[in-house]
Amino acid sequence: MINASRETSKHLSHVEVDYMIKAAVVGVNNIGKIHCRYYQEHKDVELVAVCDLNGELANSVASELKVKAYTDLRVMLAKEKIDVVSIATGGIENGSHHYEPAMIAMEAGKDIIVEKPLSNNIDEAREMVEFARKKGVRLACNLNHRFVPAAYKAKEWIDNGKLGSLLFINMKLTIGNPNESTPWIHMRALHPHSIDVIRYFAGDIRRVQAFMTKAPGRTVWSTASINLEFESGAVGHLTGSYDMDNKHPIEYCEVAGNRGRFTIDNVFENVSFYPHNSEEMKVVRNSVLRGMNGFNETFKNRINHFINEIKDGVPPEQIDGSGADALAAQEVIEAAIQSHLENGAVIEVNKSLVKEK
């Protein structure tokens, strides 16, 4: 049972709490089911309900998971004791159905984790971040590509000065996706992930310059090349595509400084460190016996991390993969789109709301 001080103390600086966290998932088609699975696997979480506008789907999933089903989020929040809500609805560019349920849940004082993008509409994303601050709730985003051991180790090397002063970062995220729904589906639906990984390692991005193309037979801007300049003075590049083959590696990241560099292969498979003035390198591989068992476990890592932050009483402005982080990535994406529309002009990235930490 949740102690009575939950609402007054949950966001005080690092006040640990001791109760079963009650979770609900909104949108249970595909990714929402993954959220449900990992909530049920977490020892400190009780999945109590699911909600979907499709009543047949909601009832089917609820029956399978032995939880309650709802088609109205407000009714669910009024009837159930819920601490955290996953927003796994979809919509245009995988994000147009996030805003309304997220705002309803935050208005009710719930911590939430939203699938990316926060919203495909940048004004809605900005409003969501501002509203979370106003309400004092934790707004997280499923930026799951950074929640892997390889990225943790690489970030540790950066923080310990192993790379020295960062100079450049090269990122590639390329998959096969035939979606032709909007001109910017590739940028807005996929690259919150790549931009977030870039920012996780190299910090805020000051300016971008983008060039995009359409693969033969396509109507959307399905492949992109984006130049980056960071607030630190470092430079970088992102290659993204919806035109590749999913049977092959999808992601590669290289970060270099004046003392060394590292590379990460395929999100979590291995991370390699190349120190300057040495013929030796260090490779940390995903363990066969104790490592990750596939990409879906990035969802598990991400959800578990958020649950642990709630349990540990981490303040909203200090959580990892926050709404502010997601918004910062979206601001970069919108700047890249504007650059392409202006024939490759260099565009400053908006930062009016993203400074949270």
Residue 58 and residue 166 in one domain = no
Q: Is residue 356 part of a domain?
A: no
Residue 137 and residue 154 in one domain = no
- Measure the CA–CA gap between 226 and 218, rounded to whole angstroms: 20
Mean pLDDT of the chain: 94
H-state helical runs in the chain: 6-9, 31-41, 55-65, 73-79, 99-107, 122-135, 149-159, 185-202, 297-311, 323-341
Assessment of whether the complete model's pTM goes beyond 0.75: yes
Number of domains in the chain: 2
Sheet with strand 205-213: strands edge to edge: 282-285, 270-275, 260-265, 251-257, 166-174, 235-241, 223-230, 205-213, 347-348
Query: Is residue 19 very low, low, confident or very high in pLDDT (cuts 50, 70, 90)?
Result: confident
- Residue that is written with structure tokens 């509409």 in the block: 121
Nearest to 186, CA basis, from 142, 228, 223, 146? 223
Residue 259 and residue 340 in one domain = yes
Residue 81 and residue 208 in one domain = no
Please list the residues that pair with 140 across neighbouring strands: 113, 322
Residue 63 and residue 199 in one domain = no
Q: Which of 121, 144, 167 is the last residue of a domain?
A: 144
Report the CATH number that the domain containing residue 233 is assigned in CATH. 3.30.360.10
Report the CATH number that the domain containing residue 139 is assigned in CATH. 3.40.50.720
Residue 215 and residue 103 in one domain = no
Return the beta strands (E) in 127-281 as ranges.
139-141, 166-174, 205-213, 223-230, 235-241, 251-257, 260-265, 270-275
Q: How far are the Cα atoms of 17, 63, 228 from residue 209, in angstroms, in the given order?
A: 46, 50, 7
What range defines the domain where residue 107 resides? Answer: 6-144
User: What percent of the chain is modeled with pLDDT above 70?
Assistant: 93
- CB half-sphere exposure, 31, CA atoms < 13 A: 20
Q: Which of 144, 172, 203 is the last residue of a domain?
A: 144
Residue 235 and residue 343 in one domain = yes
Q: pLDDT tens, 337-347?
A: 999 999 999 99
- Measure the CA–CA gap between 187 and 210, rounded to whole angstroms: 11
Q: Are 260 and 167 in contact (CB under 8 A)?
A: no
- Residue that is written with structure tokens 């400190």 in the block: 44
Residue 46 and residue 189 in one domain = no
Question: Residue 270 burial by CB count (10 A; 0-12/13-18/19+): exposed, middle or buried?
Answer: middle
Q: pLDDT tens, 191-239?
A: 999 999 999 999 999 999 999 999 999 999 999 999 999 999 999 999 9
Q: Which of 117, 144, 171 is the last residue of a domain?
A: 144
Residue 79 and residue 190 in one domain = no
Q: Is residue 171 part of a domain?
A: yes
User: How many helices and strands in the chain, by DSSP H and E?
Assistant: 10, 15
Q: pLDDT tens, 69-92?
A: 999 999 999 999 999 999 999 999
What is the helix (H) or strand (E) element at residue 348, kind and residue range?
Answer: strand 347-348
- Residues contacting residue 312 through CB under 8 Å, at least 6 positions apart: 14, 16
Q: Is residue 353 part of a domain?
A: no
Residue 340 and residue 243 in one domain = yes
Residue 57 and residue 12 in one domain = yes
Q: Is residue 306 part of a domain?
A: no
Q: Is residue 355 part of a domain?
A: no
Q: pLDDT tens, 140-188?
A: 999 999 999 999 999 999 999 999 999 999 999 999 999 999 999 999 9
Q: Is residue 281 part of a domain?
A: yes
Question: Residue 310 burial by CB count (10 A; 0-12/13-18/19+): exposed, middle or buried?
Answer: buried
- Measure the CA–CA gap between 319 and 328, rounded to whole angstroms: 15
What would the two tokens of residue 352 be? Answer: 């009016």
What would the two tokens of residue 244 be? Answer: 């590749």
Residue 134 and residue 159 in one domain = no
Q: Is residue 297 part of a domain?
A: no
Q: Is residue 29 part of a domain?
A: yes
